[in-house]
Amino acid sequence: MKLVSRKSMFFYIMCAGILFMNSCAQTPPYEEAIKIIVTPHKLSVCSGSEDKVFVKLLDKQGGPLFGVEVKAVSTSPTVATITPGALTDATGKTTFTVKGISPGATTIVLSVAGQKATMEVIFIEH
């Protein structure tokens, strides 16, 4: 019977650690209260310009929710688009990119586990 080498044992331990860390990502149940904090609340963009939107998720005790997917959509993608989704980091934060397309106004809807937050985007001319 062949024994496992030290390199193989290290590899197996590392794989187990990675699996364990990935299993720690939080998936809040639909009913759980999640606070969605969006910064800024209102954004002005120009044609072709890109701006950042910051989102932070907190659980009902005020603790950060890590590894949770936040989805984002623009109600009028002909005015501005937003990157569609991102996972929160260990501090409960994630970043989206909004890109100005054409004159008008749109609402960005950010959603997590059935809960939503919105922000207004206004396209401005140069």
pLDDT in tens, 47-95: 888 999 999 999 989 999 999 999 999 999 999 999 988 899 999 999 9
**CA 106 vs CA 35, 58, 79, 97, 100: distances in Å:** 23, 26, 6, 15, 10
Predicted pLDDT of residue 3: 60
Residue 22 has pLDDT above 90, yes or no: no
Predicted pLDDT of residue 8: 63
At 30, is the pLDDT very low, low, confident or very high (cuts 50, 70, 90)? very low
Predicted pLDDT of residue 31: 45
Boundaries of every domain in the chain: 6-123
User: Using alpha carbons only, how large is the chain's radius of gyration in Å?
Assistant: 20
Q: Is the pTM of this model over 0.85?
A: no
Whole-angstrom distance, CA of residue 64 vs CA of residue 41: 20
What 3-state DSSP class applies to 15? helix
Q: Does domain 6-123 have CATH number 3.90.650.10?
A: no
Residue 23 has pLDDT above 50, yes or no: no
